[in-house]
Amino acid sequence: MAHHAMRATVIAVVLVAMLAVTGVDATLRYGFYKHSCPNVESIIYKAMKAAYEKDNTVAPGVLRLIFHDCFVRGCDASVLLAGNNTERAALNNQGLHGFEAIDAVKDAVEKECPGVVSCADILAFASRDTVILTKGVGWEVPAGRMDGRISLSTEPLQELPPSTFTSQQLISIFAGKGLTAKQMVDLSGSHTLGITHCLHLRDRIFTTIDPTIPKNLLRQLQRKCPSNTSLTPLQIDRYTGNKFDTQYFRNIVRGRGLMTSDQDLFRDPATKPFVEANLKRATFDKNFAEAMVAMTSIEVKIGHEGEIRKHCQFVN
């Protein structure tokens, strides 16, 4: 316990320094709710822990939600808005999961601090807590985001990178959001949790066979996925898929990444060193924390640019 606390403290010190010198939006700050809702982080963690204990798929679900939120209109909780024409209705958001957990967290926060904490900040805190709950190391989360009022089903397809993208295509997409190639690789480490589906391997194991896939892995995947429309869930990390660790990167180094967007990170000389660096647990913990702070600062809304929703699924 003391060891984990010391590591978390080191990460916190690094992140405070990073706030002033990297892409963290200057409108966000640590301890934002110190006076207005001092217990907010413990309330969120307790509610997330309860949700996780009922359904451990909540962890990768919520972690994926924050990625899909920040890459479309910035980190404004627009992905949480319900409706036939919102981001949730987009084709590439159909597998999103964890909305009920965030709703439960919001309810718990509203009971103690009504009208104070935004859904965007709740999602940022909750995504950090998913890492802690799956045996990863947490980090300090700067806050002050407001909730967006607009959510369009047409935008996720334009903004979110597909699983077929190469590392160079991913670098370009992430650069458009103000993130570096290194941060892109670090954030890809979130694939240590969660699942994918046969459709996302369509460029590797069906009509076109990726010659770099180990033959035994190819046979396993083709048995599980007789066609790219098969609904079989595939654990991205087939060894420690419920634990936040470095196994995802170890799989890639062994040539056992599932999707092109995973395996190409090691094939590309521009990103290979970042994969290798993240094989060390302490390095990955630090890198992921820094990258998450940067990503959750993308295009945040402040003041009259947004609102604090009463319910995360609906604008006020």
Residue 191 annotated in ligand binding: yes
| Token pair of 273 as six digits | 């060193």
Residue 311 annotated in ligand binding: no
Q: Are 197 and 234 in contact (CB under 8 A)?
A: yes
Residue 78 annotated in ligand binding: yes
Tell the residue number behind the tokens 């597909």, with chain if given: 162
Residue 129 annotated in ligand binding: no
Alpha-carbon span 12 to 267, nearest angstrom: 33
Residue 14 annotated in ligand binding: no
**Per-residue CA distances from 189 to 79, 136, 165, 227, 283 (Å):** 22, 12, 16, 27, 12
Residue 192 annotated in ligand binding: yes
Q: Which secondary structure element, helix H or strand E, spans residue 234, and what is its range?
A: strand 233-235
Catalytic residue among 3, 4, 35, 68: 68
Helices and strands (H, E) in the chain, number of each type:
13, 2
Residue 130 annotated in ligand binding: no
Q: Which pairs with CB-CB distance under 8 Å and at least 24 residues apart come from 30-36?
A: 30/140, 30/141, 30/142, 30/143, 32/121, 32/142, 32/143, 32/144, 33/113, 33/116, 33/117, 33/121, 33/143, 36/113, 36/116
Alpha-carbon span 265 to 183, nearest angstrom: 12
Q: Are 186 and 288 in contact (CB under 8 A)?
A: yes
Q: CA torsion 277→283→288→290, rounded to 10°?
A: -110
Residue 240 annotated in ligand binding: yes
What type of residue is 303?
G
Told to judge if 68 belongs to the known catalytic residues of this protein, a careful annotator would answer yes
Q: Indicate the annotated binding residues.
A: 69, 72, 74, 76, 78, 87, 161, 191-192, 237, 240, 245
Q: Indicate the annotated binding residues for Ca(2+).
A: 69, 72, 74, 76, 78, 87, 192, 237, 240, 245
Q: Indicate the annotated binding residues for substrate.
A: 161
Residues annotated as catalytic are 68
Q: Indicate the annotated binding residues for heme b.
A: 191
